[in-house]
Amino acid sequence: MMPAELFIPTDSPEAAAPMAEALTFRYDVDGENFTSAGQASVQVKKNLRQLGFDPETIRRVSIAMYEGEINMVIHAGGGTAEVTVEDGCIEIILSDTGPGIANIEQAMQEGFSTAPDNIRSLGFGAGMGLPNMKRYTDYMHIDSVVGEGTTITMKVNY
Amino acid sequence: MTINTIKDLLGAEVLCGSESLGKDVHSACGSDMMSDVLAYVKDQAVLLTGLVNAQVIRTAEMMDMLCIVFVRSKKPSQDMLDLAEESGIAVMTTPMRMYDACGTLYSNGLTGSGSTNG
Ligand SMILES: Nc1ncnc2c1ncn2[C@@H]1O[C@H](COP(=O)(O)OP(=O)(O)O)[C@@H](O)[C@H]1O
Ligand SMILES: [Mg+2]
């Protein structure tokens, strides 16, 4: 779970400008297990706190990523998450090899959901995830091919 | 209102995070749909819910909430309590139903928006 490199060594030349070089966290999101869904987002939240980001930025990144992580688990059988801290923005890339999204415009509408009833009894499937991801981020792009998978890229400026 | 006052008003049992009972909270929300909590909640520090699974704890963590109240005497698993503990979230359980628990807190000054509570 823990990214291999969280801290830039203090004796490195980058230490004076810690954001000069991009810092990336990668996670596998297990599609078999609803209980563990969201672990990666919780970890990212902790990492961003340690890096000293302001609470509002942390909240926006972690909510958007959490919604996306839940989607990968309930709609796509899992996937991978990559979070990169760049100078001025945090980029989140969520990739899966699930069924893909046939109609992205429809999927982006508030309340649209194909989630089965058992997902609703677990507290999700209100069709608010994708619109929420858009609302909490400064940039969002969905790349999806039916039968191949979905990659969602989001950016939060700070 | 402090988290301790919530506990007293609801006749609740604290399951973890008793060290934060003295913390002040200004608004609350009640929902069994975590989707709705993630989409509509803003700055509410307390979540009342009848849903019991790990995503309740993670949702509260994502929203920077301070306290979760399970209604109808529902009890989370030890794994869920460990998650809450790690995130510094106080967890309690009350025998009250959702409507009564929310009404009790509301009528004692803990509203949904925090606007009438200093
Ligand atoms: N990663 C994904 N893979 C395939 N389909 C997806 C994915 N994410 C979202 N969808 C589709 O878009 C719909 C809307 O997503 P969302 O707004 O998060 O609502 P919900 O997850 O509550 O159904 C989903 O019901 C599903 O059909
Ligand atoms: Mg969703």
User: Mind listing the pLDDT tens digit for each residue in A128-151?
Assistant: 999 999 999 999 999 999 999 999
Q: What is the pLDDT of residues B36-88, one digit of tens each?
A: 999 988 888 999 999 999 999 999 999 999 999 999 999 999 999 999 999 99
Ligand 1 pocket check for A144: Cβ under 6 Å: no
Rounded Cα gap, residues B31 and B29, in angstroms: 7
Domains belonging to chain A, first-starting first, are 23-157 (3.30.565.10)
**How confident is the model at residue A19, as a pLDDT?**
53
Query: Does the pLDDT at position A90 exceed 90?
Result: yes
Give the mean pLDDT of A25-43: 96
**How confident is the model at residue B98, as a pLDDT?**
98
Query: Does the pLDDT at position A24 exceed 50?
Result: yes
Band the pLDDT of B95: cuts 50, 70, 90: very high
Tell me the pTM: 0.91
CB spacing of B64 vs A38 below 8 angstroms: no
Residue of B nearest to A129 (CA): B35
Query: Does the pLDDT at position A158 exceed 70?
Result: yes
Domains belonging to chain B, first-starting first, are 3-107 (3.40.1390.20)
Give the mean pLDDT of A30-57: 96
Band the pLDDT of A2: cuts 50, 70, 90: very low
Which site among A62, A130, A136 would you substitute to test the B interface, given the most B Cβ atoms closer than 10 Å to its Cβ?
Answer: A62
Band the pLDDT of B115: cuts 50, 70, 90: low
Sign of the CA dihedral A63, B67, B22, B2? Answer: positive
Give the Å distance between the CA of A128 and the centre of ligand 2: 6
Which value, to the nearest 10 degrees, does the dihedral of the CA atoms of residues B111, B93, B79, A119 take?
Answer: -60
Ramachandran region, residue A153 (left: φ > 0; alpha: ψ -120 to 50; beta: rest): beta
Kindly report which listed range (A69-83, A84-98, B29-43) carries the lowest average pLDDT score: B29-43
Predicted complex: ipTM over 0.90: yes
Residue of B nearest to A123 (CA): B33
